[in-house]
């Protein structure tokens, strides 16, 4: 095995510090809030399609096919394809911007959502939603660890399962502390997601596409958190 190059050790350290900062519990809670709000906004304002919850789109796709509603089926299929593209793009981004892939990716997500917030309500959903699905896929693929736990910032099922498993483990005296920690941290992420979804549902009818301004705020907070912690680590 080759020895590490002296010139590459510093970039690796900076990259690792960004990853640790992005994987902190506060960052995970902010990302979950943004993820919940984003899907609520897209579902309510753009044709009852999910930008991140591909399970829901898959179910709607199957229902549309069953009822021979081919236009509806195509809408959900396009979003699924866009999500796949977004996951692929997240890997390209990570390989291209190794040192600062986290901050570059977050800035890209923030910029896309901010640009989309200025689009008129008449802008076609067939273009709007796939673009949002791409950035949602980036978030799903790039942020998968909160503290020592795997989590998802745009889905609820896995986070809820892990929270309940932690609660169950806490009844065993040998695992009480670890179980309570898991239950507490995953529950906070679940609550953050539900809070974000509720806020998104409240704001969407009032602010329409400008709702994305508010959903950018937690993402900006994550950027600041990552930059601050990576500089002090």
Which residues are registered as beta bridge partners of 145?
Answer: 150
pTM over the 0.85 mark: yes
Q: What is the per-residue pLDDT for 39?
A: 94
Condensed to tens digits (0 to 9), the pLDDT of residues 77-124 reads 999 999 999 999 988 988 887 777 888 889 999 999 999 999 998 899
Cβ atoms 142, 107 nearer than 8 A: no
Position of tokens 């679940």?
190
Q: What is the per-residue pLDDT for 115?
A: 97
Mean per-residue pLDDT for 201-218? 96
Q: What is the per-residue pLDDT for 233?
A: 59
Q: What is the per-residue pLDDT for 26?
A: 93
- Taking the domains of the chain in order of start, what are their residue ranges? 14-227
Cβ atoms 152, 158 nearer than 8 A: yes
Report residue 56 CA to chain centroid gap: 16
Length of the chain: 233
């Amino acid at each position: 095995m080759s020895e590490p190059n002296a010139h590459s050790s510093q970039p690796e350290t900076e990259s690792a510090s960004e990853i640790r900062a992005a994987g902190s519990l506060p960052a995970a809670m902010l990302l979950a809030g943004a993820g919940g709000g984003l899907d609520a906004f897209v579902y309510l304002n753009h044709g009852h399609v999910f930008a991140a919850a591909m399970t829901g789109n898959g179910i709607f796709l199957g229902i549309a096919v069953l009822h021979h509603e081919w236009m509806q089926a195509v809408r959900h299929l396009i979003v699924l394809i866009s999500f796949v593209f977004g996951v692929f793009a997240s890997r390209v981004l990570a390989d291209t911007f190794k040192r600062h892939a986290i901050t570059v990716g977050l800035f890209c997500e923030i910029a896309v959502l901010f640009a989309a917030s200025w689009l008129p309500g008449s802008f076609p959903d067939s273009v709007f939603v796939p673009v949002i699905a791409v950035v949602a896929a980036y978030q799903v693929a790039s942020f998968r660890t909160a503290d020592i736990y795997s989590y998802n910032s745009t889905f609820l099922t896995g986070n809820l399962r892990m929270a309940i498993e932690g609660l169950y483990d806490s009844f065993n005296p040998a695992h009480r502390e670890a179980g309570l920690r898991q239950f507490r941290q995953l529950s906070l992420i679940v609550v953050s997601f539900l809070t974000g979804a509720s806020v998104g549902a409240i704001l969407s009818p009032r602010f329409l596409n400008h709702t994305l301004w508010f959903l950018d705020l937690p993402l900006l907070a994550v950027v600041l958190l990552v930059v601050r912690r990576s500089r002090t680590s």
